[in-house]
Structure 1
Amino acid sequence: MPDHLLDVRNLSVDFHTARGTVHAVRDVSWHLDRGEVLAILGESGSGKSVSASAVLDLIDCPPGEITSGEILFDGRNLLTMSADARRQINGKRIAMIFQDPLSHLNPVYTVGWQIEETMVVHGTARDAARRETVELLRKVGLPDPEGAVEKYPHQFSGGQRQRLMIAMALALKPDVLIADEPTTALDVTVQAQILALLQSLQKETGMGLLIITHDLGVVAEIAHRVVVMNEGEIVERGSAREVYHNPQHAYTKKLISAAPGQGAMSEGGQGPEPMLSMRGVTKTYGAFHAIDDLDLDLYPNETLAIVGESGSGKSTTAKLLLRLEEADAGEAHYEGRDIFKLSPKELYEMRRDIQMVFQDPTQSLNPRMSVYKIISEAWVIHPEILPKPRWRERVAELLEQVGLEAEHMYRHPHQFSGGQRQRIAIARALALEPRIIVCDEAVSALDVSIQAQVIDLLHRLKDELNLSYIFIAHDLPVVRDFADRVLVMQKGKVVEVGPVRQIFESPREDYTRNLLAASLDPDPDVQAERRAARLEAAQ
C-alpha cells in the first residue's frame, strides 16, 4: 500500500515568458491522506494554485513546464502516465472545484445536463445520470432539485453556483477533491454553509480534501494540516493550530498579523448634521423589492459600512445614490438638494463630489488605456478642475499618494497586481477631489496583506483629505477594523444601525448576531468554540 493517497514530491514548475523564466513552484513536497483536510495557504503568486493544477494536468505547456518531481496517486506517478490513463483519473478519482463557478459553468446548457455529462462520459446511462444528478443537488442543499436541473447557471446566486460546482465534482465519488478558493467573495453565511457542506461530504465519503486559500479563517475552520507557500516555495507546515499559535517563518507571521479583525475599533463620534441623507428610498424589479423604505445618514469624515448577504440591497443602494439606477420613491439629500431630482447638468456637476471604487479593478479599468489616460480622463470630463499642462504632474502626485510610483503612469492595467490595480482605481476616484467615496466590496478579493495595505491607505486618505466613505462589504473583520458606524441590511430593509462597537459587541437583532456568528476567526481555538456554539444552537 502507498504511504499516502496523494503524494507530491520535489515538484518544480517553470513558465517561460518573453521576460524570461518564472520559477512558479520550486521543489515543493506535500501529501494528502484519505479522510484528511489539507490547506495550502499563501497569497497570489505564491504557487499554491499552480502546484494543485499540476495534479490534474491543468498547466498550459507551453508556456508552463514541469521541470522536476513526482505526483503519486495511489502509488502511481501521474506525470508519467499516458493521456488516456490520466483521463480515467481526472474527474473520476480526482476532482476540482474552481474559484469562479460562473466562468466554469457553460451558460448555454442547463446545469442538470452539465452534471449528467460528467457521469455519461465515464459510462453512466443518461437516465441513471439524471436521477443521480437530482440526488446530488438535494445533497448539496439546493432548493427544488427537480426544477433546478432544468435551469441555467445565470438563474442561480453565487453561493448556489458554488454548490452546483461541488455537485459536479462529487458526481463520480472522487477519492480526492481539490477546492481552489471555494469561498472567496461569498457572503459570510454562504461561506459558512459551503465549508460546512464540504466538511460533511468529506466525512460521509472519506475523501481527501485539498483547500487552496489565502484566508486564515478558512484554514481555522476546516483544515487539519496547513502548508504555507511564498514565492513558489513551502516556508512552513504543521497543524492549523501549531502554525497559527507558533509560526516560525517571517512570512507566516506577516500573514497572521495582517489578518483583519484584530485592531482597535473606532469610537464613532459623528457631526451634528449629516452631509448625505436618504429617506424612504424604494426600488423594485417587477415583484422583487430590492430596496424597501431605506433610511441612511452619512456624516462628515465618517466611514459608514453597509453589510448584509447577497441580495440584501447593499450594491443597489450605492447605484441609486449615484443615479446609476433610478429609485421608485424616496429622497436623497446632499448639500440641500435631492439627488433624485437633479437635472442631467446638475447631476453631472454633483458626480464630482461622489465617486465610486468597484469590486473588480480588472473590469473597471480600461485595458486599452495607460494609467495616465485612465486617471486624467476625469479632467477631460471635468476640465474646470485642472489645466492640461498640470495633468502629468498631478497624475504623478496621485500615484505617489496611493503608494505607487510616478513612472507607473506609462503602464497598462494588465502590468499590475490586483492590489496595485485597486490603488489605481482609488487614484482615479481621487482625481475629481471628491468628498464622498463609495467602496463596493473594494477589498473583498484581495490577499490578506494587500487588503491590509489598501485599508491603511483608505484610512490615511480619509484623514488627509477629510473624506467620507460608504463602505459596502461582506467581510465583517475588515468592517470591524475600518468602519465608524455599521448599517445592517436584509432583503432590502435596514435591520440595524449603530456604532461599530455596539454592532459587534452587543447587536440587538438576531440577524446581526447570526452574521457575526458565521464570520470566520483566524484563530483555530476561537473558531472551534464558534463551531461548537453553532452545533449546540442547531440542536
Structure 2
Amino acid sequence: MTDHLLEVRDLSVEFHTAAGTVRAVQNVSWHLDRGETLAILGESGSGKSVSALAVMNLIDMPPGRITSGTILLNGRDMLTMTPEERRQINGATIAMIFQDPLAHLNPVYTVGWQIAEMMTTHGQPGDRARARALELLGRVGIPDPDAAMKKYPHEFSGGQRQRLMIAMALACKPDILIADEPTTALDVTVQAQVLALLEELQQETGMGLLLITHDLGVVAEIADRVVVMNAGEIVETGNAAEVYHNPQHPYTRKLIDAAPGKGQMPKERDRSGQPLLQAQKLQKHYGAFHALKGVDLTIMPGETVAVVGESGSGKSTLARAILRLDDPDGGRILYKGSDLMAMPPRDLFRLRRDLQMVFQDPTQSLNPRMTVFKLISEAWEIHPDILPKAQWKDRVAELLVKVGLTPEMAKRYPHQFSGGQRQRIAIARALAMEPKLIVCDEAVSALDVSIQAQVIQLLDGLRREFGLSYLFIAHDLPVVRDFADRVIVMKSGRIVEEGTVRQIFEDPVQPYTRALLAASLDPDPQVQAARRHAREELEQRIPA
C-alpha cells in the first residue's frame, strides 16, 4: 500500500489561557488520500478547525502548543520542517479556505491583485497570474469578472467574499485543499455550484479535500468519509451513509436528530390587526447599482418573515434599510404606523431598543477590545432604564446560558471563541435590549446543527413569551421551513414570490423559487444522491 497523501497521527494541541489550560485536540488520528473528500464534522469548539490549523502551521504559539503527534505529507513529517520549507508548501501544495472571509481578505488591495499574489509568490509570471485570477473569478460565480478584478473586498456581499477566498485557495492548483466551513455564507444555488466545482477540480487534479463543516447536507453531498469530533476527540468515523443511517455514538445521533427541515411546518398565522412594521416601495442605489427596486414588506406582531434569495439579491440591503442603518433612496418605513424616515433623531434613538439586529459577520460586529460581559451589558449603559446595574452580572450569565454558552465565558474576548460561538454572543447582545423586532441577517448560518436547533428553539420561545417578531434573512431553506411563518423570495432587488411556508415549499410558482428549493441539500446521503441525480438529468434535458 502507498502512503496516504496526508496523515495525522496522535495529534494533541493545547492552549494556555488566564483561566487555565484548554486541551483543544486530544490524540486525534485521521488520513486523507488522493481524490478523496474527508469531512470533519462537529460542533463549534470541538477541535475541527484547530486540527486544520495545525496542518497549515497557523496555530499561534504561544498560547497554543502542539504537545504530541506527527503530520505526514507524502510520508514526511511537516512538524519537523523548517519555516522556509513550510512556506513553500502552504498555498502551493496545501491551501486553505478560511471560515471568515472578511478577516482574511486585505481591505486595501483589489481582489484581482490578491488572487494573483497567490501565484506570483510561488514564482508564476504576473501576466499569467492575472489571467488565471480572471478565470477563477468566473469559475466561482463572481458576476462580471473583469470589473470584479478591480474591486475591493468591501464591495462584495458576504457570500461573494467567500467565493473570492475559494478562488485564492485554488489559484496554485494545490494537492490538498482544506475547506473550513467553505459554504457557510453561500446561498443554496451557489453552494451547489461551489461543491460541484470542488468535485470537478478533484477529478481533474486528484486533489484531496479536507472539509470542516457543521452542515450534514454538505457532508451528504460531497463527503466520502466522515470523522465526527466532540470536545477535542474523535468519537466516530465511517463513510457518510454508514454514519448517517447507523450512528454508533450518542453524540453523532444528537447531531443527526438536530438537522432542520424534517419537522412539521408552522401553522398559518392570523394576520389581522395593525402591522408592527411596513416597508413601502423601498428603493436603494449604490452608484449605478440598483440594490432595491420598489420592495414592499409587512411584518405583523409575533410573526416571523423570512427573506431568501441568492447573494446580491438585496436581502441584507433590505434589512439595513428597514433599521435605517443605511437610509433608502425612496419609499417609506412605518413602525406601528409612525414613519421612521420622518422621525427626529431623539425619537429614533429611543426606538432603537425596539429594533435590534444580529449581523451576518460576528467578527466585524463585536468589538475585539471588549469582554463578552461588556459587549452584552453595553446596551444597559446606553439605555439605563432597562436594567439596574446590580442585576447586570446575573442577566449576562442568564443570556449566555440561553444561547448555549456558559457564564464563565463572560470574562473572555471575542477572539477567544470559534466563529459559531461569536455568533451566539451577538444574539445574546441583541436579546439584552428586550426588543419587539429582531432582524436576523444569516444569524444561524455559522452555527453547528445542534446549537442552531437550540437557538431557533430559543428565538421561537421568546416570540411566544414576549410577542417578538423576526425578519429572518437566510439561505438555509430547511431552517426557514421549520421557523418562519411567511417567506419572501428576492432576486436582483425585487420580490419575485411571497407566501406562507407551506405555499412556498410545497407549491412554488416561480421557476427561480423552484431552483432554490432544488439546490437545497438533504442530510441523508441516499436522499441527496437521488436529488442530485434528478438535478443532473434535468440539466441534461435542457438544451445548450
* TM-score under structure 2 length normalisation: 0.89
Q: State whether residues 367 and 412 of structure 1, in contact with CA within 8 Å, keep that contact through their aligned partners in structure 2.
A: no
Q: 2:391 is matched with which residue?
A: 393
Separation in structure 2 between the aligned mates of residue 76 and residue 161 of structure 1, nearest angstrom: 34
1:102-137: CA deviation from partner (whole Å, max 9, x where unpaired): 333333344444344433343434444444444444
Q: Secondary structure at the match of 2:401?
A: coil
One-letter identity of the residue aligned with 1:253:
R
Q: 2:214 is matched with which residue?
A: 214
Separation in structure 1 between the aligned mates of residue 132 and residue 399 of structure 2, nearest angstrom: 56
Q: Secondary structure at the match of 1:295?
A: strand
Q: State whether residues 396 and 410 of structure 2, in contact with CA within 8 Å, keep that contact through their aligned partners in structure 1.
A: no
One-letter identity of the residue aligned with 1:536:
E
Greater displacement, 144-153 / 30-39? 144-153
Q: Secondary structure at the match of 1:403?
A: helix
Instruction: Note if 1:185 corresponds to 2:185.
Output: yes
Structure 2 regions of 5+ residues with no counterpart?
Answer: none
Q: 1:536 is matched with which residue?
A: 537
Q: Does the C-alpha gap of structure 1 residues 69 and 350 become closer, same or farther in structure 2, counting only changes over 3 Å?
A: closer
Q: 1:311 is matched with which residue?
A: 312
Q: Quote how far apart the aligned CAs of 1:267 are.
A: 1.1
Separation in structure 1 between the aligned mates of residue 539 and residue 3 of structure 2, nearest angstrom: 38
1:453-482: CA deviation from partner (whole Å, max 9, x where unpaired): 111111111111122222122221111111
Separation in structure 1 between the aligned mates of residue 15 and residue 408 of structure 2, nearest angstrom: 25
Q: Does the C-alpha gap of structure 1 residues 67 and 505 become closer, same or farther in structure 2, counting only changes over 3 Å?
A: same
Alignment of 1:353-502 (within 5 A): 353-366=354-367, 374=375, 377-378=378-379, 380-382=381-383, 385=385, 390-393=388-391, 396-397=394-395, 400=398, 403-404=401-402, 411=411, 414=414, 425-426=426-427, 428-502=429-503
Separation in structure 1 between the aligned mates of residue 460 and residue 371 of structure 2, nearest angstrom: 27
Q: Secondary structure at the match of 1:351?
A: helix
Instruction: Note if 1:351 corresponds to 2:349.
Output: no
1:362-410: CA deviation from partner (whole Å, max 9, x where unpaired): 5444455566665555455455x45x7x443377357536735996697
One-letter identity of the residue aligned with 1:257:
D
Q: Quote how far apart the aligned CAs of 1:45 are.
A: 1.6
Q: 2:101 is matched with which residue?
A: 101
Separation in structure 1 between the aligned mates of residue 380 and residue 155 of structure 2, nearest angstrom: 40
Q: Secondary structure at the match of 2:252?
A: helix
Q: Does the C-alpha gap of structure 1 residues 72 and 349 become closer, same or farther in structure 2, counting only changes over 3 Å?
A: closer
Greater displacement, 58-67 / 36-45? 58-67
One-letter identity of the residue aligned with 1:35:
G
One-letter identity of the residue aligned with 1:243:
V
Q: Does the C-alpha gap of structure 1 residues 399 and 304 become closer, same or farther in structure 2, counting only changes over 3 Å?
A: farther
Q: Does the C-alpha gap of structure 1 residues 218 and 300 become closer, same or farther in structure 2, counting only changes over 3 Å?
A: same
Q: Does the C-alpha gap of structure 1 residues 292 and 126 become closer, same or farther in structure 2, counting only changes over 3 Å?
A: closer
Q: 2:240 is matched with which residue?
A: 240
Q: Does the C-alpha gap of structure 1 residues 357 and 538 become closer, same or farther in structure 2, counting only changes over 3 Å?
A: same
One-letter identity of the residue aligned with 2:184:
T
Q: Does the C-alpha gap of structure 1 residues 486 and 8 become closer, same or farther in structure 2, counting only changes over 3 Å?
A: same
Structure 1 regions of 5+ residues with no counterpart?
Answer: none
| Percent of pairs with identical residues | 68
Separation in structure 1 between the aligned mates of residue 409 and residue 105 of structure 2, nearest angstrom: 37
Greater displacement, 502-511 / 84-93? 84-93
Separation in structure 1 between the aligned mates of residue 207 and residue 406 of structure 2, nearest angstrom: 51
One-letter identity of the residue aligned with 2:252:
T
Q: Secondary structure at the match of 2:211?
A: strand
1:331-360: CA deviation from partner (whole Å, max 9, x where unpaired): 333333323222333333433433333334
Q: Quote how far apart the aligned CAs of 1:314 are.
A: 1.9
Separation in structure 1 between the aligned mates of residue 372 and residue 57 of structure 2, nearest angstrom: 36
Q: Secondary structure at the match of 1:271?
A: coil
Alignment of 1:266-277 (within 5 A): 266-273=266-273, 274-277=275-278
Q: Does the C-alpha gap of structure 1 residues 531 and 379 become closer, same or farther in structure 2, counting only changes over 3 Å?
A: same
Q: State whether residues 176 and 209 of structure 2, in contact with CA within 8 Å, keep that contact through their aligned partners in structure 1.
A: yes
Alignment of 1:25-424 (within 5 A): 25-142=25-142, 145=145, 148-273=148-273, 274-366=275-367, 374=375, 377-378=378-379, 380-382=381-383, 385=385, 390-393=388-391, 396-397=394-395, 400=398, 403-404=401-402, 411=411, 414=414
* TM-score under structure 1 length normalisation: 0.90
Q: 1:524 is matched with which residue?
A: 525
1:5-37: CA deviation from partner (whole Å, max 9, x where unpaired): 212122222223333332221111111111111
Q: Quote how far apart the aligned CAs of 1:147 are.
A: 5.4
Q: Does the C-alpha gap of structure 1 residues 470 and 399 become closer, same or farther in structure 2, counting only changes over 3 Å?
A: farther
Q: Quote how far apart the aligned CAs of 1:291 are.
A: 1.6
Q: Secondary structure at the match of 2:527?
A: helix
Q: Does the C-alpha gap of structure 1 residues 21 and 162 become closer, same or farther in structure 2, counting only changes over 3 Å?
A: same
One-letter identity of the residue aligned with 1:318:
A
Q: 1:6 is matched with which residue?
A: 6
Q: Does the C-alpha gap of structure 1 residues 66 and 367 become closer, same or farther in structure 2, counting only changes over 3 Å?
A: closer
Q: State whether residues 281 and 291 of structure 1, in contact with CA within 8 Å, keep that contact through their aligned partners in structure 2.
A: yes
Separation in structure 2 between the aligned mates of residue 104 and residue 373 of structure 1, nearest angstrom: 26
Q: Quote how far apart the aligned CAs of 1:295 are.
A: 1.6
One-letter identity of the residue aligned with 1:79:
L
Q: State whether residues 44 and 420 of structure 2, in contact with CA within 8 Å, keep that contact through their aligned partners in structure 1.
A: no
Q: Secondary structure at the match of 1:196?
A: helix
Q: Secondary structure at the match of 1:212?
A: strand
Q: Secondary structure at the match of 1:107?
A: coil
Q: Quote how far apart the aligned CAs of 1:146 are.
A: 5.3
Q: State whether residues 39 and 223 of structure 1, in contact with CA within 8 Å, keep that contact through their aligned partners in structure 2.
A: yes
1:137-165: CA deviation from partner (whole Å, max 9, x where unpaired): 45545555555545444444444444443
Q: Does the C-alpha gap of structure 1 residues 217 and 378 become closer, same or farther in structure 2, counting only changes over 3 Å?
A: same
Separation in structure 1 between the aligned mates of residue 185 and residue 448 of structure 2, nearest angstrom: 12
One-letter identity of the residue aligned with 2:473:
I
Q: State whether residues 281 and 293 of structure 1, in contact with CA within 8 Å, keep that contact through their aligned partners in structure 2.
A: yes
Q: Does the C-alpha gap of structure 1 residues 493 and 66 become closer, same or farther in structure 2, counting only changes over 3 Å?
A: same
Q: Quote how far apart the aligned CAs of 1:484 are.
A: 0.9
